[in-house]
Structure 1
Amino acid sequence: MGEFEKAFFANFEGAPLGALEGAVFPGDIDNSSGGGAASGESAEGGADGVLGDGVVDGRGVPAGAADDVVANEAVASVDAHVPAHYGDPAGEWRALEEGRGFTVVGLDVVAVRGADRRRWLHSLLSQALADIAPGASTEALLFSPSGHIENGAFVYDDGDVAWLLCDRGDGRRWADFLNSMVFTMRVEVNLREDLLTIGAFVPVGASRRAEAAESPSEGAGSGADRAGPGADGTVSPSAGVGPGAGGAGSPSESSSLGLDGANSGPEGIGLPLGGSAAAALEETALFVWRDPWPGVSEGGATYTLRGIEHPARNWRRVIGVVEADKGGKLLAALERAGAAPAGMLAWEAARVAGWRPRVAFEVDERALPHELDWLRTAVHLNKGCYRGQETVAKLVNLGRPPRRLVELFLEGPVDELPRTGDPVTSGGRKVGVVTSAVRHPEDGPVALALVRRALDPEAVLDVGHFRAGQTLIVDPEGKSSASPAERPGAEFRRAKKGAEARPAESGAERHRVESEAAPARTASEAEPGRTRRNMEPL
């Protein structure tokens, strides 16, 4: 755990936050059984060990807590510095969904200062940042020259500094790359290692699962078209997503997202009842980044099928960035709000169920934003040139992504989870790979996977010891909301195909047809030597 995270936990006092003393970290959860059993043995047995106050279960679970603590191995490496859970992952997930929970997410933070910072970042990254408004929240990707994703970050501009938030370890990569591209630009790039990042949810209405159960008839006609307004909404980073600028919970977004009964939080931000953790962050953080997902940002597009209501439509994530000397103030605000800590297992369960891609898990050396439905929030299709833009535009207009993201509902061992990178097979043939896997408190074991676009959407798949059914995220047809109805040049291809399909004509027949089709000749054409000046009627 990082030094600032350690200091943060050491300062917790009082009953509401006392559970932090029993935090279980990813390193305490063993995945030796194929991706999930903890502490070296399955739930049926194994040596008991004490991992913290009150922790007596061999899987690192306090007595009487939930029995489904299973972690993806990748979480143990990427998020090793922050708690996986505090003894009750299911209860922690519910606290997050209700707005009462907060998670120490432990992101890296990169600060970009200078007069040229916005247009400089605009020229390098996938998002339109040249005119980003102070207080705006968005996200951006960095592409290779061939258009594959190399890195990604959440972006917030406070009017003086552009802040990039990214997975732990990627901050150094961002800082090194950006510093290599400074040249004559008036910018300064620093990796800030003195900041704490805390996540929370701002719920929008009831639990998405409960709402779906109560309204089984809702679906095709009730909202979520590929890029349509309504459930998904539209967010413009240039217009701003922050205090007073149409952010999560602001009047402009509340009207389209159904934030009923919102109260007014700090700095004029409307926070619905139950958003207590987010309110505490607003009160104490240096700034709060608001996740635009699952809205379709200005200039963005979506590959989600028409008629599908997005599973993340009922919540918005926020991440507060807190200065080290404000830790005590934050703790006091969280305690006053009655907020409860939630580990990364709960945070990741919500992310995966919300189809939200994450660089640390969904991105490999071949990853394209189209495959992950990431054109929603991270790519502006109408902005100027940036590295990899040609490939991005060509896939939207001419091609189809070779793979597609799916959600897998898994049936198999109760004490395992697939690992990131595990093969997905159909009929014994590899058709994809697992990117993220979690044990969801309501859905059980679920995963995100990248599979071949042409894979039968109805195919039942195998993932290690699990059988899996697919839920479509990216359209198998490979068309986005911004793709033309026909590929450019289709009319010429049709004309050529029609010409090739006509039967061959004889020379005499062709001459007769051409003669009949030829226009009548004028007098000057009948006698080419005559001019209009001396022309007489024939």
Structure 2
Amino acid sequence: MTSPLASRPGAVLAEGADTGVAAHYGDPFREQRQLAEDVGVVDRSHRGVIAVPGADRLTWLHSLTSQHLSGLAPWHGTEALVLSPHGHVEHHAQVADDGETAWLDVEPGTTADLLGYLQKMVFFMRVEPADVSAAWAVLSVVGPKTTETIARLGVALPSEAYALTALPDGGFVRRMPWPGKVAADLLVPRAALDATVDRLAAPLAGVWAYEALRVADRRPRLRFETDHRTIVQEPEWIPTAVHLEKGCYRGQETVARVHNLGRPPRRLVLLHLDGVSEELPAQGTPITLGRSTDGREARAVGFVGTAVRHWELGTIALGLIKRSTPDDADLFIGETRAAVEPALETA
């Protein structure tokens, strides 16, 4: 469904996975800067929303996902993954619990598959998972002035990451640790999208601006920085979406084995592209060591996830490459040269 916010002045509709919302509202670089230096509202209402009410919801989700959810306190949230029996990532969800219902907001196009899996696993548990995307929608507020902007809705932005505050007209606001230094996700009635944006009284920014900040922050996105072989250590979803000290769940053996032995086969990297081509590389484009010469194919070492034009960093992309590939390797994406930005050392 197309968001009503996509009919606001200047809106240019996104394509592909983000269809239904605005890619930008006339000036993508200005919108990025707005999110980085001031505040803006991003329409992410194309995401799917699954509601799981019922007394057993948290223990049930705990048993099915990579996250420790059985002790999740009311009005708190987290992230979680659903893995295949072999430990490959199948689904990613933002989880929030309001004391009565667990809310999962998920990537566009994944709702039906995830709901189908959940419904098969109900058995005798007191849960009623349902797709409520037609009734509920996600908005994101991003930027240093997020706290002041959220206050215009008559509530305070929580101080703790992933904590929730109820909104007066239903739904909630959840503090997010990304993109940028301050951000919040709102779950609001879909019928109230226009009114909520008006009350926030902050400029709209398209998903292109949001994606640019996400890429610069090295945050993976399901089906962009993942493929059918991705395991949780490759996009570094530990500890964000994976708890290493919880009971059995599907795929846990692979998670534990790779964690104990170390060195997963691939790693997520931030790439700086030379910008020679006017076109951004498509998701899934091979990353090669060197370029093809004399009719010989260059050796592929990974693939491109999301490529963006960043207002400060230029043309950048996330890629998933073989762990053995050194940071100073001579990498190419087609005819475009790519350089790995070394990961920051953490204490």
Matched, 1:287 2:172: yes
- Correspondences of 1:454-533 after superposition (within 5 Å): 454-473=324-343
The letter for the 2-side match of 1:333 is: R
> In 2 relative to 1, CA 373–474 (structure 1 residues): closer, same or farther, beyond 3 Å?
farther
> In 2 relative to 1, CA 196–270 (structure 1 residues): closer, same or farther, beyond 3 Å?
closer
Matched, 1:444 2:343: no
- Report which of the two has the higher share of helix: 1
Contact 2:157 2:174 in 1 (8 A): no
Matched, 1:131 2:119: no
Largest Rg, 1 or 2: 1
> In 2 relative to 1, CA 83–9 (structure 1 residues): closer, same or farther, beyond 3 Å?
closer
**How many correspondences in the alignment?**
331
Give the distance between the partners of 2:191 and 2:279, measured in 1 at CA: 41
Give the distance between the partners of 2:222 and 2:150, measured in 1 at CA: 34
Cα-to-partner distance string for 1:205-240 (whole Å, 9 max, x where unaligned): xxxxxxxxxxxxxxxxxxxxxxxxxxxxxxxxxxxx
Alignment match, 2:295: none
Displacement of 1:268 in angstroms is 3.8
Give the aligned CA root-mean-square deviation in angstroms.
2.5
The letter for the 2-side match of 1:186 is: R
- Correspondences of 1:179-218 after superposition (within 5 Å): 179-192=119-132, 193-203=134-144
Corresponding residue SS for 1:413? coil
Alignment match, 2:293: none
The letter for the 2-side match of 1:291 is: M
Cα-to-partner distance string for 1:31-89 (whole Å, 9 max, x where unaligned): xxxxxxxxxxxxxxxxxxxxxxxxxxxxxxxxxxxxxxxxxxxxx21001111111100
> In 2 relative to 1, CA 85–263 (structure 1 residues): closer, same or farther, beyond 3 Å?
closer
Give the distance between the partners of 1:381 and 1:404, measured in 2 at CA: 19
Contact 1:114 1:187 in 2 (8 A): yes
The letter for the 2-side match of 1:160 is: E
Q: Name which of 23, 27, 32 aligns with 1:88.
A: 27
Larger deviation: 194-203 or 415-424?
194-203
Matched, 1:150 2:90: yes
Displacement of 1:107 in angstroms is 0.8
Matched, 1:22 2:13: no
Corresponding residue SS for 1:395? helix
Q: Name which of 183, 190, 208 aligns with 1:324.
A: 190
Matched, 1:383 2:257: no
Corresponding residue SS for 2:12? coil
Contact 2:135 2:191 in 1 (8 A): no
Unaligned runs of 5+ in 2: 160-165, 291-297
Give the distance between the partners of 2:189 and 2:149, measured in 1 at CA: 28
Alignment match, 1:17: none
Larger deviation: 392-401 or 136-145?
392-401
The letter for the 2-side match of 1:290 is: R
Identity of aligned residues (%): 43
Displacement of 1:444 in angstroms is 0.9
Corresponding residue SS for 2:208? helix
> In 2 relative to 1, CA 270–380 (structure 1 residues): closer, same or farther, beyond 3 Å?
closer
The letter for the 2-side match of 1:397 is: N
Displacement of 1:399 in angstroms is 3.7
The letter for the 1-side match of 2:23 is: A
Alignment match, 1:355: 218
Cα-to-partner distance string for 1:428-477 (whole Å, 9 max, x where unaligned): 211111011011111111000011101122112111121111013499xx
Displacement of 1:99 in angstroms is 4.4
The letter for the 2-side match of 1:87 is: G
The letter for the 2-side match of 1:162 is: A
Contact 1:78 1:360 in 2 (8 A): no
Contact 2:47 2:108 in 1 (8 A): yes
Contact 1:284 1:329 in 2 (8 A): no
Displacement of 1:324 in angstroms is 3.1
Corresponding residue SS for 1:371? coil
Give the distance between the partners of 1:270 and 1:393, measured in 2 at CA: 33
Give the distance between the partners of 2:191 and 2:342, measured in 1 at CA: 46
Contact 1:406 1:450 in 2 (8 A): yes
Matched, 1:101 2:35: no
Alignment match, 1:402: 265
The letter for the 1-side match of 2:94 is: F
Corresponding residue SS for 1:267? coil
Unaligned runs of 5+ in 1: 11-19, 27-75, 205-247, 250-260, 272-280, 294-311, 482-538
Give the distance between the partners of 1:196 and 1:319, measured in 2 at CA: 10
Displacement of 1:394 in angstroms is 0.8
Contact 1:371 1:474 in 2 (8 A): no
> In 2 relative to 1, CA 411–372 (structure 1 residues): closer, same or farther, beyond 3 Å?
same
Contact 2:6 2:21 in 1 (8 A): no
Displacement of 1:125 in angstroms is 0.3
Alignment match, 1:231: none
